[in-house]
Amino acid sequence: METPRLEIHIDRIAHNASAVISQCGAQGIRVAAVTKVMQAHPALLRALEGSGCVMLADSRIDNLKRIAEAGLDLPTMLLRAPTPGKAPEAVRWADHTLISSYQTAEALSNAAGMAGVRHKVVMMVDVGDLREGVWPDRAVEEVSRIARLPHLEVAGLGTNLACFGGVIPTREKMEMLVTLRDECRSATGHPLELVSGGNSANLPLLASGEMPAGINNLRIGEAIILGRNVLDRSPWPGTRQDTVELVGGIIELQRKPSVPIGRTGQDAFGNTTHFTDRGLRLRAICDLGRQDAAPDAIEPVDPGIEVLGASSDHLIIDVTDAETPVKVGSEIRFLPSYGGLLSASTSPHVRKMATGRP
Ligand SMILES: *Cc1c(COP(=O)(O)O)cnc(C)c1O
């Protein structure tokens, strides 16, 4: 089979989705499944289709178009505020948009008016991670202004943590969001039903039983797709981690020294190189370079194989201790982490292949 390729195990992702969504459901939380790390690939959409998620969410309008083309009967959410110029496209392809600025809301309202629709927005509040969101002391005022725009419905409030600042979701942060929602509700008279507490990083709080009752939505990508607790990358209970595999083919296999011969300068990417002398090693080159996947974000399935590094087109691996013998033409399997999956999914050089029925 062709390499490099990404094997997407639909049945395994579907299993993870059901597990995570039922954990959330047991505490009154509905899940928007986040598809961006796999560019909303149709195989992922098939895995999510019957999983019980109530919405599909993505940060890119391109990907939302893909979701529409797949013909799934689920509402969509645009996770990243569009530039005002992209508001017409956002209104066309998303049912909800997460926003944090009045200017965005105004552009969305105008675009919705032109299209003859009412667009739903969720006001993001920054409770400390310092990525998107209005500062809490301005939330009531901003929501009140936005609620007066003619073609929008403010569906509720949301927040996002553990992305830029690495801030861990806590009961206090979630209570702050619920309280702000209540204040905005009183100020506007609108129900502001949706309270979207965050992403996969909120699941440990949920599992601890400390999630306040007012939180009724989470936007989950990684915990479903890769089965990870994103606070420490340990396996998330009830999920599997072998949902997607990256496969490369060996194009060279040679015994070589572990330290380069000659005076060394910078490598192909401007880094200074360091090597430990481990003597002669059996080394292989896979047809997987940085154009295909981030080499530090993929882990060989064979525990005896080690990734040494990569240039644009060559992945150098040490196969001296490989449990399965390899030769030129052998396939090597890797499990990607989030960054590895993001890079492989978005690389036009990596063939995507779906396996397993949900
Ligand atoms: C990417 C993203 C998510 C999903 O994050 P995961 O860690 O993959 O669960 C949720 N919300 C927003 C706003 C995002 O950008």
205-259 tens-digit pLDDT: 999 999 999 999 999 999 999 999 999 999 999 999 999 999 999 999 999 999 9
CA of 4 to the centre of ligand 1 (A): 27
CB atoms within 10 A of CB 85: 9
Q: What percent of the chain has pLDDT over 70?
A: 100
Domain ranges of the chain: 10-226, 244-355
163 CA closest ligand 1 atom index? 7
DSSP labels for 145-168?
A: HHHTSTTEEEEEEE---SSSS-PP
Dihedral (C-alpha) 323, 327, 328, 330: value to the nearest 10 degrees?
Answer: -50
Say if ligand 1 is within 6 A of residue 202 CB. no
Mean pLDDT for 23-37 is 98
Q: Is the pLDDT of residue 289 over 80?
A: yes
Amino acid residing at 113 = G
Does position 358 have pLDDT exceeding 90, yes or no?
no
Of 48, 79, 99, the residue with max ligand 1 atoms within 8 A of its CB, to mutate for a pocket test, comes to 79
Confidence band (pLDDT; 50, 70, 90) for 170? very high
Q: Under CATH, which number does the domain 10-226 receive?
A: 3.20.20.10
Looking at the DSSP bridge assignments, the partners of residue 283 are 254, 318
- Cα 295–Cα 301–Cα 304 angle in degrees, nearest 5: 90
> What per-residue confidence (pLDDT) applies to 34?
98
221 CB near ligand 1 (under 6 Å): yes
101-105, 260-264, 345-349: the lowest-pLDDT one: 260-264
pLDDT at res. 191:
98
User: Which pLDDT band, with edges at 50, 70 and 90, does 7 fall under?
Assistant: very high
Mean pLDDT of the chain: 97
Expressed in angstroms and rounded, the spacing between residue 94 Cα and the centre of ligand 1 is 16
Decide if pLDDT at 187 tops 90. yes
Could you give the count of Cα atoms lying within 13 Å of 12 in the half-sphere of its Cβ? 16
> Could you check whether the bond before residue 4 is cis, i.e. omega within 30 degrees of 0?
yes
CA angle, 338 as apex, 333 and 339 as ends, to 5°?
Answer: 90
306: helix, strand or coil: strand
Q: Please state the length of the chain.
A: 358
pLDDT in tens, 76-107: 999 999 999 999 999 999 999 999 999 999 99
What pLDDT shows up at residue 74? 96
Classified as helix, coil or strand, 8 is: strand
With bands split at pLDDT 50, 70 and 90, how would you rate the model's confidence at 357?
A: confident
pLDDT digits (tens, 9 = 90+) for 314-326: 999 999 999 999 9
Phi, psi of 244 (to 5 degrees): -135, 135
Taking residues 139-143, what's their average pLDDT?
98
With respect to CATH, is domain 244-355 assigned 2.40.30? yes
C-alpha–C-alpha distance, residues 119 and 156, integer Å = 13
